[in-house]
Structures are given as C-alpha cells and as structure tokens.
Chains A and B, each alone.
Chain A
C-alpha cells in the first residue's frame, strides 16, 4: 500500500494546491517528486511537531497538505498539534500513515500504534479510511485530497486477497439471510473474518471507512447480534455501533487489538494470532458469543 500511496500522491501533485509534508520517513521514495515540485514536497527532518504545524500553516494559506509518517509518529507523537494546528484553526489535512498496529512487530512497542484510530476518534469530523488492499488506496486518497476536511488514511502491510472498494457504506460480502448475526469487518481483517464464519449463519459486511461509520447501513443489516472486527484497538467503534442501535435490544462483540503491551517481537502474523484476529481466533470468539443466548434459552 505504501508504494501505491507514493505513486498516487505524486500524481496528485499535478494540482498546485497539493503539498506533501514529510518527517524523513519515505523521503527517499518521494525524492523524484521533490525534484519536480521542490516547493510542494516538504521534508522537515525528524520533527513531527513541526510536520503537523507546517501542515496547519499550509492549509491556512489554502494549500492541501498530505502529511505522512509512521503511525505512532504521525498520530500519537504530536497529537496536540493535530487538535490545535488543524482542528482548532478550522483547517484540514490528509494524514497518511504506514506501520499500522503491529506491521513492524519486530521493532517493538515504539513502532506499534493500535490506538491511532481511537485517538483521532476523540476529535470531531474526521474521515478515517482503512483500506484492505493496495488497489483501494488510489481512489481513497484522491477522494480525501479533493475535499477540504481532515482525513486519515491508515495503510498496512496486512491485506485481503482482493480489493472490495466501495464508497465506505457497509458492503455485504456474504448474506446469511434475515435475522442472522452481522459481522462487520474493517479493512484488512475481512479475509480472516470470512474464513472464520464460513460455515456459520453470519452475514459479513465490509467497510474501509470506520469514520464516519455507516450507521444507516448498520441499522438496515443488523439483527440482535453484531460482531465488530477491527484491525486496531478492540472496541474502537463500539461507541458508534451502540449509539446507532440504542433503540434496539442487541448484543455486541468487539474484536480487535488488545490494550496490553505484549512485549513480544515476532511477525505481524504472530501478533494477529496473539490478538485472536486470525481465522481460528475469530472463530473461537464468535462461537463463544453466539453460544450465549441458546445456553440461556
């Protein structure tokens, strides 16, 4: 997804408003673009506060900043700059991260940021895209760069076997019929989710856009049981789903990355398994969740 992003962002520089702001990460990959557009590919060095402040200042002049770095450095390190230099000034930027959750598991805690979507969710009016396949990236990037509001594009080395695209509305990938439990998979967790419930009466819907969450689609599809599978902090979208279904008796299972620091290296696949986000782990959680009513009944 990173390579696709770099190619797409470079193309978007054809618009004189587009300005890419970097803090050394991916600077080499953007070097050709920087040679062609020296005033609109800005590498501030390893200075994340300045990176976000510069984005705010650029936006104040009418430029459209694309700010890019590793997820923890982009979203967590200079959070107050996101809150004040963008939101409080009433201007927007497009933030694009790589290194989602535990993509670089062997790098350890410093390079993990499963809380990024949750953190941005404390702010108002952000669009968040979590593409599940590299081919989904160009259109998502183009759509948010063409807007004026703030957006976060969360790129990952995790991916589904094929792109599902769509406009962000919940897209039914597998329909188990009326009354079935609904599983909503966000971005690259879809393949594992489909495998996990392949032989269960569970409808599976996909979205790459957890914010704004498609609450209308959710209300149309949801029965009594809702299962959320997100590739970042577990429960990130629980608030949104609970509010959307507040007038209905329902049960919600929120799956995602755990809060505790595992303090283990390994691969992204290892962490997927440890957080129960592989097909086997998801199946265990879903079985436990769906067993409850019959046990009571």
Chain B
C-alpha cells in the first residue's frame, strides 16, 4: 500500500536529489510529479531569471498559482541555486522558510505567495500591465495553474480581460491532470481561445513539446499552454 520512490515517475536529473532531500521519507501526491517537468523546462530553458537577477525589473516573472504544487517548485529552485540545499530539510517545520505553500517574502525567487486557488492569474495580469506601463517589452509573465483551479471564477475574469485587451506579455500554463470535479468539456484550451488567446496543448512530460509550446507565443495576444498529464502517474 505504500507508494515508494521506485514507483514514482522519473524526474529531471538535477531535480532528483533536492526533491529526495525535501521528501525526507514522506509520500508525495501525484500533483507533485505532474508539475515537475514543466517547472524544470521553464527554469532550465525558458525563464530569463537567475539567482543573481532576482530583483532585476527586466527579469521574466514566474507565478506559481497552484501553490500546493510546491515540492517540485522548491526542488527546482534549489537545483537552480535560488535556495540553499539545507533549506530543504524540515519543510513546514517551525524554523523552515519552506511551507506547504510558498511565501514570496520567505523564499528567494518566489514571485507570489499562493495557496488559495485562483489568485495567480489576476496577479499575473496586473504584473503584465505594470511592465507594460513601464515600457518594459522584454520581460514575460508566466502563471502556472491547474485544471481544477480553473473552477475558481476569478480565473475567468482574468482570462476574459487579458484576451479582450490583447495582453501580449502574458502566458498561462495549465497543468491538466483531469482533476477538476466537473471536467472541462471541449478541453481547457477552448476557455482561453474563445477569449482571443493563442493556445498549445501538449504532453506535459515531453520536454521538447513543452519548450516549443512555452516559447510559441506571438506578439499580439496572450498565450496558454495546456500541459496534459495523466492523473496518478
């Protein structure tokens, strides 16, 4: 009955050690493994941000909206040098900076504190608007959500507005592990495309496909990447 690491899906090489240290013998749910590939592709190949450019206004912004997908996030941040490896011990403990949801004031590289679902995309729209108001056309804002998180109506306020106003510097990433209680008939992407977004739906484990999708935006509208991952993997 115990799920061991032997049955957990493989994770990107550099993430394995920090993830194992963070896990500390606990079991991780499927949501950890469903998100880790897209996080790795983002931090390894897409986002223009390093531990040295955390405060650079020209950096790309990554906003983790589904804050419970935190284990892979911390592991990737550790693998990339944003947080020291010894912070990975005792997650959620009284002296730990790493909670079960991330806090931007406690963890370097974390752009938003999240945990309550449905906040990241609105914050992302505001961030994109702020960058635009400052004339910063290079940085891009990436917001990662889950398909169940899309149940929250706040997302649909943001999707409609960003599409209607052609917010070009915004990419939403929806990890679709089919966990929404009532599903999304017609697919997740259609909720975005009907509002004027460009969209790509790809295998959430396929790093090349993820990379192509995450860099596949055009200059005229917001972009969504739906990363499909089978639940329970």
Contacts and interface: CB of A to CB of B under 8 A. Distances in A.
B176 to A, nearest CB: 22
B113 A89 contact: yes
B128 interface: yes
Contacts of B158: 50, 53
A56 interface: yes
B14 interface: no
B126 A80 contact: no
B157 interface: yes
Interface in B108-161: 111-113, 116, 118-119, 121-134, 153-154, 157-158, 160-161
Contact of B122 (A16, A56, A90): A56
A62 B116 CA distance: 24
B125 A62 contact: no
A56 B105 contact: no
A19 B121 CA distance: 19
A56 B130 CA distance: 10
A12 to B, nearest CB: 14
Contact of B157 (A16, A50, A55): A50
B51 interface: no
A80 to B, nearest CB: 7
Nearest to B104: A89
B122 to A, nearest CB: 2
Interface in A157-202: none
Interface string A39-72: 1101011010110111111111111010000000
B12 interface: no
A81 interface: yes
Contacts of B119: 53, 81, 84-85
Nearest to A44: B161
Given A49-B157, A53-B126, A57-B127, A39 B116 contact: no
Interface string A61-98: 11101000000000000001100110011100000000
- Report, as a range, how many residues of chain A touch the other chain: 20 to 34
Nearest to A48: B157
Contacts of B105: 90
Interface string A14-55: 001001000000000000000000011010110101101111
B92 interface: no
Contacts of A57: 122-130
B57 interface: yes
B44 to A, nearest CB: 24
A54 B119 CA distance: 10
B130 A61 contact: yes
B129 A62 contact: no
Contacts of B124: 57
Nearest to B128: A57
A63 B133 contact: yes
Nearest to B113: A88
B154 A58 contact: no
Contacts of A40: 133
Interface string B39-67: 00000000000000000010000000000
B58 to A, nearest CB: 11
Given A19-B133, A44-B157, A50-B158, A55 B126 contact: yes
Contacts of B153: 49
Contacts of B161: 44-45, 47, 50
Given A80-B116, A88-B113, A89-B104, A56 B123 contact: yes
Nearest to B112: A89
B112 A49 contact: no
Interface in B74-104: 103-104
Nearest to B122: A53
Contacts of A65: 126
Q: Which of A42, A54, A62 has the largest count of B CB atoms less than 10 A from its CB?
A: A54
B122 A85 contact: yes
Interface string B5-25: 000000000000000000000
B154 A53 contact: yes
Nearest to A93: B126
A52 B105 CA distance: 20
Interface of A: 16, 19, 39-40, 42, 44-45, 47, 49-50, 52-63, 65, 80-81, 84-85, 88-90
Interface of B: 57, 103-105, 111-113, 116, 118-119, 121-134, 153-154, 157-158, 160-161, 164
Given A54-B122, A55-B126, A56-B123, 14 more contacts: A16-B134, A39-B129, A39-B133, A44-B161, A49-B122, A53-B154, A54-B129, A57-B128, A58-B129, A58-B133, A61-B130, A62-B130, A84-B113, A90-B104
5 contacts: A49-B118, A54-B126, A60-B127, A61-B130, A89-B123
